[in-house]
Amino acid sequence: MKVKDLMTKDPIVVTVNDTLNDVVKIFISNRIDGAPVVDKYGKLISIITKTELMKAFVNKVSPLTCIDKISSKRVITINEDADIKDAWDAGVGRLPVVNENGNLVGILTRTDLSKRLLEKEVQESKEIKAILQSTNNGVIIVNQEGLITRCNPSAIRILDLDNKDIGGLEVECVLPELKLHETVKTGMTTYTEKIQFKDKELICDRIPLFKEEEVAAGVIVFKDSSDLQSTIDELNTVQQLSKKLDAVIESSYDGIYITDGQANTMKINKAYERITGVKREEMLGSNMIELEKSGCISESATLRVLKTRKTTTIHQKFRTGKNALVTSTPIFDKNGKISMVVTNVRDITELAKLKEQLEKNKELAQKYYSEIEEMRLQLLNTLHIVAEDEKMLETMRIAKRVAKVDTTVLLLGETGVGKEEAAKFIHKNSNRKRNQFIKINCGAIPMNLIESELFGYEKGAFTGANREGKVGLFEVANGGTLFLDEVGELPLDMQVKLLRALQEREIKRVGGTVSVKIDVRILAATNRDLEEMVKQKQFREDLYYRLNVVPINILPLRERRGDILPLVRYFLSELNERYHWDKEFSKDALGVLYEYDWPGNVRELKNIVERVFIMSSESKITFEDLPKKIVASNINRELVLGEGIVPLKDAVAKVEMELLDKAFEKYGNVRSAAKVLGIDASTFVRKRKKYRKMH
């Protein structure tokens, strides 16, 4: 310990110009009996003590005399960096402490030293006791007379002593086998001597302790050889594991570089040598700071980790010409300090070659991905074409005939008649049935995306585009069938590009310069009058004739009523099977469904069947379960066409109920609805309540 660690800093001082009176006041107010005397620059001149003050007053020296006249000029000082032992040897009660310039920086008293040395002795005694208590080796200490003064717990355990308190006993009588008494007598030191004690073999060190050239005590340190063997076995296991770990590190294809927490190189594998071109002899034991300065490596990820305490990855190029990704990871000890940094060096030169190889298959992979996505969304299930009406049967016969050739077909008909199902039927009966069936709803794609969806685009073709580009649906459908639904919704500029694709059998991606050959059969469908659109200049005439090679008109349900009831039974059967119910339609309900004109055609019919199936509470669905508009339409039809005879009262009631509902639906409030019907509001409310109870 240094003097500066124990001294009192910034001590109270007096100056050469202070009088005896001044010094007395300073001593009394600060309760001190001595103080250093300094000049105006703070340099130590002398020291004044209480004794010197008392002598001055006894000798009747004037109180106004400057202390420089009476203070001792001979001052013993000590440097602040001196050892405290040197301070003790000085033998001075109050020792001024100075720095290398001779300026006073502190004061050290004999009392401070005594207290510190006593504390140190006590601390050392505690440390020795703690060491003896915690060590696995047995330790016994005897004094000059051979009496046991210390015996630690490990000694009691190893020697299997029944009496654990052997302090104060003669070692020669209690433990003669240890020969510790001989060590005290002869003063001879012995190491690693094997001693037989009971059934154990002990390995002992016996050491005499001298004081003024005489043996003052003796110490024996011993351990059970069987414990040593266990340690040896454990060490062998650790060594084997270490060899296995070394083998793993050496066999790694990636380079591995390990440093300690101060960036000193500890381990390098052969892969690191291969990638970087340096030899491990050049690196082992060297510090990363030196290696970076010398240019052996361009930049150290290890040093970054030691600054940031985080895993760091950098790109490096080595003198071998190889590029590598270097990742350094910190390893922390239990105190949170970095004990090691493990660096992984991956050669990305090989990865670049793999990337180039993958690029060659990129187009094919994109095509397959797009095919899977489209087919997932438009999975072509097994077709269930329900056609019993003679007109519809004839339509399907035509469809089957044209299916065998690759001619373009234009499917015409109202919304919901089943144009898409007819298109799938043609595909399933064609030579392309094993390939893709891709549907494009021309009316559902935003105008600014139609071209890129149909023909695809190259990477970077426009803002927001996929950075790898995209295969268009024409390419996805290559070898199969492309169904252009709602083709009448295509804008004129796209009609030109579609016509070119159909005529030349090739497309060009958005942003691309190379034409791509395609082999696609085109089926188109629309619910619009394309001839009229041609006249209105809304649809290109040349495209119309290109699509209209074989037109097939799918009739609405009202013109093929023979399909209505078979479709109802088919949809009902599907629902019963799905939900494990057993519902059926009554004859009157089927009659109403048959007579309805179905403006939404098959799609509307399917939705109505599902609705009444879910909402009906009984197993038999009657006409009361049907929507009011269908029932009312049937009643109106009967009344107008005279196709049925019903009681006048019932007919009037039904018509009246329909009018009440329609008026309220249109105007949204009772007063306005009643006014239009020519009745007052109370009558309107009463009649509605009456009919609601009836139905």
State the CB neighbour count (10 A cutoff) for residue 327.
Answer: 17
CA distance 339 to 332: 6
Over residues 369-393, the mean pLDDT reads: 63
- Going from N- to C-terminal start, the domains of the chain cover 3-113, 135-229, 252-352, 362-555, 560-694
Q: How far is CA 190 from the centre of its chain?
A: 63
401 three-state secondary structure: helix
Tracing tokens 């094997």 back to the chain, one arrives at: 194
Over residues 58-65, the mean pLDDT reads: 86
Structure tokens at 589: 């309900």
Q: State the Rg of the chain over Cα.
A: 54
Over residues 494-506, the mean pLDDT reads: 91
Tracing tokens 């580009």 back to the chain, one arrives at: 469
Alpha-helical runs (H) found in 643-680: 648-667, 670-677
Q: Over the stretch 433-490, which tens digit does the pLDDT of each residue have? A: 989 999 999 988 888 788 888 888 887 666 655 666 788 899 899 999 999 999 999 9
Q: How confident is the model at residue 640 (pLDDT cuts 50, 70, 90)?
A: very low
CATH of region 3-113, choose from 3.30.360.10, 3.20.20.70, 3.30.300.30, 3.10.580.10: 3.10.580.10
For residue 380, pLDDT over 50 is answered with no
pLDDT of residue 365: 63
Task: Give the CA distances from residue 509 to residues 42, 110, 470, 539, in Å, rounded to whole numbers and listed in that order.
Answer: 91, 97, 9, 23
Beta-strand relationship, 409-412 and 521-526: parallel
pLDDT of residue 445: 86
pLDDT of residue 643: 47
Identity at 390, one-letter amino acid code: E
Residues 6+ positions from 679 with CB-CB distance below 8 Å: 687
**Lowest mean pLDDT, pick from 2-6, 341-345, 396-400, 420-424:** 2-6
77 three-state secondary structure: coil
Task: Give the CA distances from residue 181 to residues 132, 212, 672, in Å, rounded to whole numbers and listed in that order.
Answer: 20, 20, 126
pLDDT of residue 444: 87
Tell me whether domains 3-113 and 135-229 share a fold: no
Task: Give the CA distances from residue 504 to residues 497, 498, 500, 601, in Å, rounded to whole numbers and listed in that order.
Answer: 11, 10, 6, 37
For residue 129, pLDDT over 80 is answered with no
Over residues 141-162, the mean pLDDT reads: 88
Choose from 157-171, 257-271, 620-634 the range with maximum mean pLDDT.
257-271
Q: Over the stretch 619-635, which tens digit does the pLDDT of each residue have? A: 999 888 898 888 877 66
Given a contact cutoff of 8 angstroms between Cβ atoms, the answer to whether 422 and 437 are in contact is no
Over residues 304-318, the mean pLDDT reads: 88
pLDDT of residue 462: 64
Tracing tokens 């005590």 back to the chain, one arrives at: 217
CA distance 425 to 405: 14
> For 167, which DSSP code?
T
| CATH, range 135-229 | 3.30.450.20
Q: Over the stretch 29-43, which tens digit does the pLDDT of each residue have? A: 888 888 888 877 778
pLDDT of residue 575: 94
Q: What is the mean pLDDT of the chain?
A: 84
pLDDT of residue 543: 93
pLDDT of residue 113: 72
Q: How confident is the model at residue 264 (pLDDT cuts 50, 70, 90)?
A: very high
pLDDT of residue 466: 62
CA distance 637 to 617: 28
Q: Length of the chain, please?
A: 695
CA distance 456 to 484: 16
pLDDT of residue 349: 80
CA distance 621 to 434: 42
Strand intervals (E) in 487-607: 506-508, 515-517, 521-526, 550-553, 584-585
Q: How confident is the model at residue 298 (pLDDT cuts 50, 70, 90)?
A: confident
CA 28, 33, 36, 38 dihedral sign is: positive
CA distance 57 to 63: 8
pLDDT of residue 381: 43
622 three-state secondary structure: coil
For residue 76, pLDDT over 90 is answered with no
Q: Over the stretch 393-432, which tens digit does the pLDDT of each residue have? A: 899 999 999 999 999 999 999 999 999 999 999 999 999 9
| CATH, range 252-352 | 3.30.450.20
Over residues 321-341, the mean pLDDT reads: 89
Over residues 297-306, the mean pLDDT reads: 86
For residue 288, pLDDT over 80 is answered with yes
β-bridge mates for residue 340, sequence order = 260, 331
Tracing tokens 């629902």 back to the chain, one arrives at: 575
- Assigned CATH topology for domain 560-694: Helicase, Ruva Protein; domain 3 (1.10.8)
DSSP secondary structure letters along 32-62 = -SEEEEE-TTSBEEEEEEHHHHHHHHHTT--
pLDDT of residue 570: 93
Over residues 100-118, the mean pLDDT reads: 75
Q: How confident is the model at residue 73 (pLDDT cuts 50, 70, 90)?
A: low
Over residues 498-519, the mean pLDDT reads: 88
| Backbone angles phi and psi of 346, in degrees to 5 | -105, 125
pLDDT of residue 376: 42
pLDDT of residue 294: 79
Binning the chain into helix, strand and coil, the percentages to the nearest 5 are 50, 20, 30
Q: Over the stretch 583-610, which tens digit does the pLDDT of each residue have? A: 999 988 898 898 899 999 999 999 999 9
Q: How confident is the model at residue 217 (pLDDT cuts 50, 70, 90)?
A: very high
**Lowest mean pLDDT, pick from 35-39, 169-173, 552-556:** 35-39
pLDDT of residue 239: 81
117 vs 19: which has the higher pLDDT: 19
411 three-state secondary structure: strand
CA 287, 290, 296, 301 dihedral sign is: positive
CA 405, 409, 413, 417 dihedral sign is: positive
376 vs 503: which has the higher pLDDT: 503
CA distance 185 to 142: 11
Identity at 190, one-letter amino acid code: T
For residue 340, pLDDT over 50 is answered with yes
Over residues 117-130, the mean pLDDT reads: 71
CA distance 472 to 509: 8
Mark residue 168 as left, alpha or beta (left: phi above 0; alpha: psi -120 to 50; beta: remaining). left
- Assigned CATH topology for domain 362-555: Rossmann fold (3.40.50)
To the nearest whole percent, how much of the chain has pLDDT over 70? 89
Choose from 50-54, 80-84, 176-180, 222-226 the range with maximum mean pLDDT.
176-180
pLDDT of residue 629: 84
Given a contact cutoff of 8 angstroms between Cβ atoms, the answer to whether 143 and 131 are in contact is no
Choose from 205-219, 461-475, 679-693 the range with maximum mean pLDDT.
205-219
For residue 379, pLDDT over 60 is answered with no
Residues 6+ positions from 367 with CB-CB distance below 8 Å: 471, 475, 476, 478
